[in-house]
Chains A and B, each alone.
Chain A
Amino acid sequence: MHPELRHFVLRRGGPEIVDDVVAEAFVVVWRRWDDAPADPSRRRGWVYGIVKHKLAHALRDRDRHLRVASRVVATAVIELSDPGDDLASIEEARRVLDLLPRAERDAVELAVLAGLTTLEVAEALQCSATAVTSRLTKARGRLRRLLAAEGRSDHVIG
C-alpha cells in the first residue's frame, strides 16, 4: 500500500509532508494492528482512515505555520512548484476540491483519487455506505456548480 498512499497524500497535501504523514500513519497502523478489521476488504479503508487523520493533522500544522510566517515566505512556498509540471495541476485540483464541504470532500478523495470501494470509504470515514453515496451525489452537484461559477461550465459532463 505504500506507493498508493504516497500518491494519495501527495495529491491532498503536497510533497513536503508525504514522508511524515505516511510514516506516522504506518506507525499508528503498526501500533493498532490488533484493532485492524479481520475482513481484508475493510482493512484498506481502515488504513486510509488513519492516513486521513494524520493528513488532517499535518495540514492543520502547516496552515498554522503559514499563518505565523510572513506573507513573503508563504508566497515563496506557493511559488516553489513549477507551473509547467504536473505538481501545479495537483495543486489546482486540491484548490478546487478544498471548496467542497469536508464530508463531501473526504468521500470524493477516497472514492475517486484513492480508488476505494464504497465499503472501504465507509470504513475509512466511519459512516454507512448509504451516507457515502449520498455525499458523492451531493459533491458531484456542488462540484458542477463550483466549476460553472469559475467559468469552466463548457467542460461539464453529466
Chain B
Amino acid sequence: MSSDDRAGNDVAAQEVAALRELMTAHHLVPSVPARYAATPQDTERLLARILVAAEAEEIGAVPVPLPVRRRPRAWQLGAAAAAAVAIVVGYQAAVVPQATAGAPVALTYSAGDPAAVASGRAPSARSALTDLASTARAQPAQDRPGSVQYVASAGWYLEVDGAEVSVTALFPTITQLWIAPDGSARQTQRRGAPLDVDGHLSTTAIESAAGLLSTDELPAASLDATLTDRLPRDPAALQTELLQQAAGLPCAQDDSWRAMCLVGSVLSVLEQHAAPDDLTAAMWTVLADEPGVRYLGSTTDRAGRPGVAVAIPPATGDPDATVRVLIVSPSTGELLGTENVTLRSEALRIDTPTVTEFTTMTTSSWVRAVGQTR
C-alpha cells in the first residue's frame, strides 16, 4: 500500500468515524431488536430457498441472465448445497466445522464401497447394467391414465445453524414435479419427517403435509414434455444425445468425465420425467459400455427397497472428490435413487467418506392433472 493509499484510507476512516458519531448522537444507528435476529429456522428457510431456486433453475424454471455452472444435475445440486453453506456461513472454509455430524448413515454395498470406486478397485458394472437393462426392457407397458408426468422424490439437504454459523445437519425434503403436455410445470418442495437414526426414510414422510416450503409454477414450453418419447432407444444414438445434453462439460477429457456427463444427463431425465421402461433400458445399456461406471453390488435403499448399486468416481479435478452412486431396482430396472458420497472436501472439512446428498425416487408416473398424484 502506497503512502497515498494509506493517507486516503485514514481520511476515509476519519470521515466514517465522524459520520457515525453524528448519526449515533441523533439516534440514527439504533440497534436491531433481538427478535429480528437470524434464527436457525431463518437460516434453514434461506438455504431451502436457495436449493429450490437451484433446482428450479436446473429444470429451466428461472430465467438465467448470468452465466451458470454447467454440470450434471445432481452434481450441480451438490455444488449448490455446498456453495449455499459456504455463502451463508461465511467465505472462509475454516469457519465450517465438521460436516459429518449431521450426515446420513452410509448405505452398505455387497461388492465394495465408494472409496473402492474412486481408487479403481471396484469391478466393472457392465454385467450388472446389462442385466438391469434386460429387466427394464421386459417390463409391461406403463399405464398412462393421464397426460401429465409426475415425479416425486425425497432427499436430504444441508442445513445451517444460523446462531452458531455452523453446518449442523442434513434435513429431508420432499420434491414433487408435474410436467403438463404443453411443457408447463409445477414443482413443490416441503420438508418431510426426519430420517430414522439408521438413515432410512420414515414410511410416513411422504404423506406428511407439514412444512410446505415452495411452489413454483412454470409457464408453457418451460420444459420438454415430449423428451422421454423423443429420445432414441438405440444406444449409440442415445449416447450421442446424452453427451450433447452435457455440452459445456469436458466430456471428452477422460473416462471419468465421460461417465460424469452421461450419468448426469441420465439422471436429469430419469429424476424429472416419467421415463418409459424401454428408454430406461437404453440408458442402462449406454452406461454398461462405459468403463468409468463401476459395480458396488446389492444394497437396500433408504425406502427399504432392494437395489443394485453402480457408481462413478469423482471426475478428474473435482475438488470435492465425490462418488456418485445410482441405485436401480433389480426387479423392475427403474431408478430408485442416487447418493453422493464425498470422500474428502476441504470446504466441508470432510476427510472420511460422507453422504452429502441423496435422492430417493418415490413416484414416477403419469397422472390426469397437475397437482394430482394418481
A, B from the same assembly: yes
Interface of chain A residues 86 through 104 with chain B (CB within 8 A) = 86-87, 89-90, 92-93, 96-97
Given contacts A29-B87, A113-B29, contact A10 B12 (CB under 8 A): no
Q: Does B210 contact A (CB under 8 A)?
A: no
Docked-complex contact A86 and B37, CB < 8 angstroms: no
Chain A residue at smallest Cβ distance from B53: A27
A-chain residues with CB within 8 Å of residue B90 when the two chains form the complex: 1
Complex alpha-carbon distance, A88 and B61, angstroms: 39
A-chain residues with CB within 8 Å of residue B80 when the two chains form the complex: 30
B-chain residues with CB within 8 Å of residue A113 when the two chains form the complex: 29
Complex alpha-carbon distance, A6 and B38, angstroms: 7
Q: A1-B87, A30-B50 are in contact. List 8 more A-B contacts (CB 8 A).
A: A7-B37, A26-B50, A27-B54, A33-B83, A132-B12, A143-B19, A147-B26, A157-B22
Docked-complex contact B87 and A30, CB < 8 angstroms: yes
Looking at chain A, what size class is its interface with the partner chain? 35 or more
Least distance between A157 CB and chain B CB atoms (Å): 5
Q: Does B30 contact A (CB under 8 A)?
A: yes
Interface of B is mostly: helix
Docked-complex contact B30 and A155, CB < 8 angstroms: no
Docked-complex contact A93 and B28, CB < 8 angstroms: yes
B49 contact from A27, A43, A85, Cβ within 8 A? A27
Given contacts A86-B30, A96-B26, contact A43 B19 (CB under 8 A): no
Docked-complex contact A26 and B88, CB < 8 angstroms: yes
Complex alpha-carbon distance, A139 and B23, angstroms: 11
Complex alpha-carbon distance, A15 and B80, angstroms: 27
Q: Does B32 contact A (CB under 8 A)?
A: yes
Least distance between B170 CB and chain A CB atoms (Å): 18
A-chain residues with CB within 8 Å of residue B162 when the two chains form the complex: 2-3
Complex alpha-carbon distance, A33 and B50, angstroms: 13
A-chain residues with CB within 8 Å of residue B25 when the two chains form the complex: 155-157
Looking at chain B, what size class is its interface with the partner chain? 35 or more
Map CB proximity to A onto B273-306 as digits: 1 under 8 Å, 0 otherwise: 0000000000000000000000000000000000
Docked-complex contact B57 and A15, CB < 8 angstroms: no
B-chain residues with CB within 8 Å of residue A32 when the two chains form the complex: 66-67
A-B contact pairs, 10 of them (CB 8 A): A2-B160, A2-B165, A3-B37, A7-B37, A33-B69, A111-B16, A112-B29, A133-B12, A137-B15, A158-B22
Chain B residue at smallest Cβ distance from A143: B22
A-chain residues with CB within 8 Å of residue B28 when the two chains form the complex: 92-93, 96-97
Complex alpha-carbon distance, A30 and B83, angstroms: 7
Docked-complex contact B57 and A31, CB < 8 angstroms: yes
B-chain residues with CB within 8 Å of residue A137 when the two chains form the complex: 15
Docked-complex contact A10 and B87, CB < 8 angstroms: no
